[in-house]
Amino acid sequence: MACLRGLLESWGTREFVPALKRSIEALAAGELPLHKGLEQGGLVDDSDLAVTVIDTREMDDAVQARVGVFFTEIVGGCSCGDEPFSLPAYCMLQVTIEKQTGRARFELIDESVHDITRTYGGAK
């Protein structure tokens, strides 16, 4: 569980969103559950994350945000001669930061709920 205690000092100001983005991008490799959002069964390369903050809200004992995370998925070759290749990957996470401790919990958001073809009535 990551600790983002210092981040809470900026809650309620216009600095919070950019500070949250920077804090998530600076987390050590493996701290985000990005492996749960892989589509090709590959490995996560989280050495160069790009985070976008979708929304934030305050709860009684925590601050919560939905964030989009862009990263790279490394997919192994399909046969002996194939080299691994990389694909751009994306997933949405919910981060809950406890006000008392600053501990941050990250959970994958099921993107099937946010499928643009379902949301906007596109082709099925």
Task: Tell me the domains of the chain and their CATH numbers.
Answer: 2-119 (3.10.450)
85-121 per-position pLDDT tens digit = 888 999 999 999 999 999 999 999 976 444 433 333 3
Radius of gyration, CA atoms only, the chain: 17
Q: Where are the beta strands (DSSP E) in 59-101?
A: 62-75, 85-98
Query: Can you give the pTM of this predicted structure?
Result: 0.80
Q: Are 123 and 117 in contact (CB under 8 A)?
A: yes
| Under 8 Å between Cβ of 48 and 27 | no
Model pLDDT for residues 12-68, shown as the tens digit of each residue = 999 999 999 999 999 988 899 998 888 777 889 888 899 999 999 999 999 999 999
Res. 82: pLDDT tops 80: no
